[in-house]
Amino acid sequence: RHASTIPPRAEQFTKVTAEHVKALRGLLGSPSSLISTLDGSATVDELVTYNDDWMNKYHGKGQVVIRPKSTEEVSRVVKYCYDNNIAMVPQGGNTGLVGGGVPVHDEVVISTAGLNQVRSFDPVSGTLVADAGVILEAADNYLAERGFIFPLDLGAKGSCNIGGNVATNAGGLRLLRFGSLHGTVLGLEVVLPDGTIWNGLKTLRKDNTGLDIKQLFIGSEGSLGVITAVSILCPRRPKAMNVAVFSVESYEAVQQVFAEAKSHLGEILSAFEFWDAQAYDVVRHHKAEVGEEVRKVFETEGPFYCLIETGGSNGDHDEEKLGNLLEDLVTEGKVLDGVLAQDSTQFAGLWTLREGIPEACGKTGSVYKYDVSIPVKDMYSVVEKVRLRLRENGLLTGDGQAEGPIKACVGYGHMGDGNIHLNVVAPKYTDEIEAAIEPYVYEVVSELRGSISAEHCLGQMKAGAVHYSQDKNSLDQMRRIRKLYDPKGLMNPYKFIL
Ligand code: FAD
Ligand code: MLT
Ligand code: ZN
């Protein structure tokens, strides 16, 4: 991100000193829960993983990182910062894609990495209560041992935290099946900006006693407090899972396959993802895990690919349904080619073709990421329009692949949720490229009556563009809520709703 686009440091925030660091350290049970360049307990390099984001696009200058080990420690630290006008940024696994979890200037990083215990699990209701810093994959592994599944799955599962997932209202690969976190989260524990602990960690499915406060924190991007624990409803793990990938001849055909899949598979459809040929090329060249058997899997390749996953309780029953779908798709000529995973290695390999796209784009270059919701019939047009725009600006000379300064311009996403990801992969981040894409891409989305953020949120990246998707009245209400919770504006400043 260029210095010219970074908002100036707000002078009302206190500059943290070695004295503050000493006092903060005194609030923690273990001295190693705080590292800082101000007292020499860390070097600048050791803070890089907390200051730089996953894309290496946003670079903060935080000098203090605190990793409390309990909610009480979070509370003491936050209260101290609040009383001393010190700005803070909550951070989970730092896998966010909009620069929301890293400092902009010298905000103190409050990491949830030390809050990593499962608190309870009820196998009758399927309710899991866990600390916010539990890694998503660890939570899912814990549930798998008990025959349950976490109702969220995404490519960053090995690093992202469940608190970060809630703070970003992450969507992921199975929202189609399990719904949004607004439905599955039953309760939260949050340390509010003044250090007060709000114990809203309920485990009830039904509770109509007043406003549903937890909903405010789901997708609040660390602006209303630090989420310290999550209570969430988890379904039974499907006993049988299948995955099939198809090449198809047009975006129109992707839609037809989607309609057929819903009609044939009904309740066992657990994911419907799609990607274009340009994304396919990037992923198979850059993901080592894409083994030879899936690297060249289709005899007939196409401009689009779609992945269908089923998850049910009766394998024979699911296979019969999937078989009927495949037969119909082939007989009616709706697909060019297809492959059904024959074993667990191929199951994972086929998923890598889709899940591996973000990482493969990252290995190819510096990625401008757009994550938008658009009514499904028009969804892919945003990719076509941006390609045209890049060509008009002399930035792209091929069809979205490796010619011209842009290395790739790819589209992929969660078809079942009306959510497409557009990645423009450049040799490096430059003002020229950014100016060619933004705000053009937001104008296109707004004209198509879409949302400029389907799941990655606003963070630093889209804080100034939110008016493309929200009207003044809605924004005023959000600002009032933010002010109510955080009158000093200390929680995750310079981001989200300004
Ligand atoms: P961070 O990156 O650490 O923080 C994200 C935001 O949440 C920041 O604003 C931060 O301040 C705030 N925050 C974090 N923890 C807390 C807390 N405990 N309390 C309050 N605020 C907090 N996202 C999707 O929606 N769907 C996807 O399919 C998806 N796939 C991804 C695949 C890859 C390879 C990568 C790198 C990212 C992907 N993401 C996806 C984005 C990202 O993983 C999610 O946004 C994730 O939920 C962030 O979790 P985190 O713990 O890494 O949060
Ligand atoms: C995905 O669906 O793969 C994620 O949202 C990450 C991304 O778009 O890069
Ligand atoms: Zn996504």
What's the complex ipTM?
A: 0.99
Instruction: Write the residue with the smallest CA distance to atom 8 of ligand 1.
Output: 101
What are residue 368's DSSP bridge partners?
424
Residue nearest to atom 27 of ligand 1 (CA): 172
How far does the centroid of ligand 1 lie from the alpha carbon of residue 149, in Å? 19
Tokens of residue 491, six digits: 């929680």
Using a 6 Å cutoff on CB, does residue 164 contact ligand 1? yes
Distance 421 CA to ligand 2 centre (A): 7
Name the residue with the closest Cα to ligand 2, atom 7: 358
Query: Is the minimum distance from the CB of 369 to ligand 2 under 6 angstroms?
Result: yes
Nearest of 445, 498, 496, 437 to residue 468 by alpha carbon: 445
In ligand 2, the atom with minimum distance to the C-alpha of 273 is 2
Gap from CA of 98 to ligand 1 centroid (Å): 9
> Residue 157: CB within 6 Å of ligand 2?
no
Which of 95, 154, 372 has most ligand 2 atoms within 8 Å of its beta carbon, as the pocket-test mutant?
Answer: 154
Q: What is the pLDDT along the chain (498 residues), one digit of tens a residue?
A: 666 679 999 999 999 999 999 999 999 999 999 999 999 999 999 999 999 999 999 999 999 999 999 999 999 999 999 999 999 999 999 999 999 999 999 999 999 999 999 999 999 999 999 999 999 999 999 999 999 999 999 999 999 999 999 999 999 999 999 999 999 999 999 999 999 999 999 999 999 999 999 999 999 999 999 999 999 999 999 999 999 999 999 999 999 999 999 999 999 999 999 999 999 999 988 876 665 655 667 889 999 999 999 999 999 999 999 999 999 999 999 999 998 998 988 899 899 999 999 999 999 999 999 999 999 999 999 999 999 999 999 999 866 555 668 999 999 999 989 999 999 999 999 999 999 999 999 999 999 999 999 999 999 999 999 999 999 999 999 999 999 999 999 999 999 999
170 CA to centre of ligand 1 in angstroms? 7
What confidence score (pLDDT) does residue 405 get? 83
User: Which ligand has the minimum distance to the alpha carbon of residue 218?
Assistant: 1
CATH numbers and ranges of domains, the chain: 3-111 (3.30.43.10), 118-233 (3.30.465.10), 240-357 (3.30.70.2190), 365-456 (3.30.70.2740)
359: Cβ below 6 Å to ligand 1?
A: yes
Quick one: three-class SS letters along the chain? CCHHHCCCCCCCCCCCCHHHHHHHHCCCCCHHHEEECCCCCCCCHHHHHHHECCCCCCECCCCEEECCCCHHHHHHHHHHHHHCCCCEEEECCCCCCCCCCCCCCCCEEEECCCCCCEEEEECCCCEEEEECCCEHHHHHHHHHCCCECCCCCCCCCCCCEHHHHHHCCCCCCCHHHHCCHHHHEEEEEEECCCCCEEEECCCCCCCCCCCCCHHHHCCCCCCCCEEEEEEEECCECCCEEEEEEEEECCHHHHHHHHHHHHHHHHHHEEEEEEEEHHHHHHHHHHCCCCCHHHHCCCCCCCCEEEEEEEEECCHHHHHHHHHHHHHHHHHCCCCCEEEECCCHHHHHHHHHHHHCHHHHHHHHCEEEEEEEECCHHHCCHHHHHHHHHHHHCCCCCCCCCCCCCCCEEEEEEEHHHCEEEEEEEECCCCHHHHHHHCCHHHHHHHHCCCECECCCCCCCCCHHHHHHCCCHHHHHHHHHHHHHHCCCCCECCCCCCC
Ligand 1 atom, smallest distance to 454 CA: 25
Q: How many CB atoms lie within 10 A of CB 295?
A: 13
Q: Which ligand is nearest to the CA of 94?
A: 1
Give the model's pLDDT for residue 223: 98
- Say yes or no: CB of residue 489 within 6 Å of ligand 1: no
Residue 217 near residue 199 (C-beta atoms within 8 A): no
User: Which atom belonging to ligand 2 lies closest to the Cα atom of 361?
Assistant: 9
Is the CB of 155 inside a 6 Å radius of any atom of ligand 1? yes
172 lines ligand 1 (CB under 6 A): yes
End-to-end alpha carbon distance in the chain: 19
pTM: 0.97
Please choose from 65, 89, 91 the residue to mutate so as to test ligand 1's pocket, defined by most ligand atoms within 8 A of CB: 91
Distance 495 CA to ligand 2 centre (A): 21
Atom of ligand 2 nearest to the CA of 413: 2
Identity at 130, one-letter amino acid code: A
- Backbone phi and psi for residue 212, each to the nearest 5 degrees, phi listed first: -90, 85
